[in-house]
Structure formats: C-alpha cells, structure tokens
C-alpha cells in the first residue's frame, strides 16, 4: 500500500524539503533545489498539472472494510538551471484496531520538469521503530546512492551506523514509487502506451500504462454529479509496499489537472479500492460530465 498504492496513485509527497545525501563523490550531481533562494519558488497554481499546495486525501478500502487513508501534498516548485523542479509527499496510514494491517509510511520525491525522479525518501514504521531510506541519483555515473538507518521515533536521532548501497541504472530517466503517479498525470492524455523504469525498494522494475478510455464518466461519493475521467489500465512489474504488484486500473479527471480520483490495485490481501475523499487545489474547476 505504500510505494505502490502510491504508485499509480502511486500508487501515493511531503514536507517542503528536498532530499540531500551528503556523500564524498567525484561526480557533480545537481545541487539540491532546497538551497536556492526563496525568490525562485513558484507558489501559484496555473493551468498545468503541477499545482503547489495541492492536497488530495483518499480512502483505501478492501471489500467493505475501510483500511486507512492516503494524503498527497504538492510543494512549491523551484526554478534551477533553466528548468522547474517539483517535489511532493505522500502519507499512508492504516486505521487503528485492524488485526491484519499496521501501516504508517511517509514518502517524499524530487522530480525534474518531465516528472522523472531526482531523489527520494521513505520513512516506514516497522516493529515499533522507523526505517528511513534516502536515495540520490548521480548523472555522471548513472548510479543511485541509497542510505538507510533506523530511528526509535520520528524525532529521535538515527542509530550510530547508517548503511549505504549503490544501484547502477542504465536508464538515465526513471521514476520512483511516488513520482510515477505524477508522470502518469502528465502523460496519460497523449502519450500512451507507456513503459517506465521504476525504482522500488532498491530494485529496478517497470510500470506500464497500456490503454486509456477518454470517454468515461465516473460517479464517486466526493462529487454530487458524474465527472469526466480518463480510465487507464496498466501493470506494475515490481513488488512494492504490502506486496503491491500486477495489474491495476486508475481513473484521472479528463482535464489538464489529471487529478487521480480512483484506483484498483492488487496487494497482499487482494484487490483494494482507492478513492478520492477530499481535495484542495486552488482554482480547480471539477470537469463534470455532460448530461
């Protein structure tokens, strides 16, 4: 339910910080946009898909059981070296009292203007402690540097010894478990089919978006009337959080915002439904279907 619930809906973005791994390395990675002056931030929402301060809340359900919520948050974009860089965070939390799931995950991504990943961070609760994983891509060597450490709580210092790993990636352009959602939003209206390298849990898999129906209308509880949507079918060829993998379906609003409104995905316990419950997107006009 983490990286993959978030993944197409991701499938599921984050505090206002970009990821930085302080490593001694002979390559010259792009500097983190977080060091750029505040006057370079884009804080307004225009007609593009990326909308700073967009916040989307989803309900996750298995059969008739409400499992938890996913909250997606987009940060202000940063202008750097002639291009905008974007960041987002997603918060995945299961409800208390469920006997078969206890899931609490935060993911943050940093993306270039094409929505490919430049860096990623995941914080996941496991057995009462927190596993923090940070990744940073180095163009010159085509390598992803992954740092992992444990914390007793979200506010406690990390354990003394962090571990580092290196993942070679042949493709210079790839997505992580969260940026793949934004990549889909940016491309579903004109570039299908898509087959995108996707890094999840330190392994390179692929996400495929196979077909789209732009003539659909969808009814969900959050809206009083049917809305225009683009229905997408695809496949996650990797194993994400809570054993997410395999075929999926997603519904995005049929407008320039391409807001994810619903998804059906396969996880450990079977098929789960993810549906938009609340949203805050400045100046957005919901594309209701014609009567």
pLDDT digits 0-9 by tens, 165-183: 888 887 778 999 899 999 9
pLDDT of 126 > 70? The answer is: yes
pLDDT of 6 > 70? The answer is: no
Looking at residue 92, its pLDDT comes to: 93
Contacts of residue 57, defined as CB under 8 A and 6 or more positions apart, other chains included, come to: 69, 70, 71, 72, 276, 277, 278, 279
Span 207-234, mean pLDDT? 87
Using DSSP, state whether 184 is helix, strand or coil: helix
Q: What is the mean pLDDT of the chain?
A: 80
pLDDT of 24 > 60? The answer is: no
Looking at residue 31, its pLDDT comes to: 38
pLDDT of 288 > 80? The answer is: yes
Q: Which residue has the higher pLDDT, 123 or 12?
A: 123
Span 81-103, mean pLDDT? 90
Our CA angle for 14, 68, 214, nearest 5°, is: 75
Looking at residue 183, its pLDDT comes to: 94
pLDDT of 25 > 70? The answer is: no
pLDDT digits 0-9 by tens, 250-274: 999 999 999 999 998 887 777 889 9
For 79-111, b where at least 16 C-beta lie within 10 A, e where not — what string? ebeeebbbbbbbbbbbeeeeeebbbbbbbbbbb
Q: Which residue has the higher pLDDT, 39 or 54?
A: 54
pLDDT of 246 > 70? The answer is: yes
Report the C-alpha gap between 49 and 109 in whole angstroms. Answer: 16
Looking at residue 185, its pLDDT comes to: 93
Structure tokens at 29: 């990675």
pLDDT digits 0-9 by tens, 49-72: 999 999 999 999 988 889 999 999
Looking at residue 58, its pLDDT comes to: 97
pLDDT of 37 > 80? The answer is: no
Single out the residue of 264, 285, 289 nearest to residue 275, CA to CA.
264
Looking at residue 234, its pLDDT comes to: 87
């Amino acid at each position: 339910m983490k990286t993959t619930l978030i993944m197409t809906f991701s499938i599921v973005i984050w505090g206002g910080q970009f990821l930085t791994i302080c490593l001694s390395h002979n390559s010259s990675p792009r500097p983190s946009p977080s060091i750029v002056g505040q006057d370079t931030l884009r804080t307004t929402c225009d007609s593009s898909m990326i909308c700073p301060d967009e916040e989307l809340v989803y309900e996750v359900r298995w059969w008739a059981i409400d499992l938890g919520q996913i909250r997606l948050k987009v940060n202000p974009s940063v202008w750097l070296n002639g291009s905008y860089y974007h960041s987002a965070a997603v918060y995945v939390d299961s409800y208390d009292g469920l006997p078969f799931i206890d899931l609490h995950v935060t993911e943050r991504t940093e993306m270039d203007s094409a929505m490919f990943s430049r860096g990623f961070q995941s914080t996941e609760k496991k057995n009462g402690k927190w596993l923090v994983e940070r990744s940073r891509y180095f163009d010159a060597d085509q390598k992803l540097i992954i740092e992992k450490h444990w914390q007793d709580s979200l506010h406690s210092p990390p354990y003394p010894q962090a571990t580092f790993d290196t993942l070679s990636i042949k493709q210079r352009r790839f997505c992580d478990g969260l940026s793949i959602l934004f990549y889909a939003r940016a491309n579903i209206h004109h570039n299908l089919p898509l087959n995108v390298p996707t890094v999840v849990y330190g392994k390179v898999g692929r996400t495929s978006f196979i077909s789209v129906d732009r003539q659909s209308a969808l009814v969900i509880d959050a809206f009083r009337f049917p809305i225009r949507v683009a229905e997408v079918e695809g496949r996650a060829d990797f194993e994400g959080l809570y054993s997410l993998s395999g075929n999926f379906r997603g519904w995005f609003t049929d407008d320039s915002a391409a807001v994810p409104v619903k998804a059906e995905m396969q996880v450990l316990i079977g098929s789960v439904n993810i549906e938009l419950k609340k949203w805050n997107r400045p100046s957005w006009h919901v594309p209701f279907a014609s009567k």
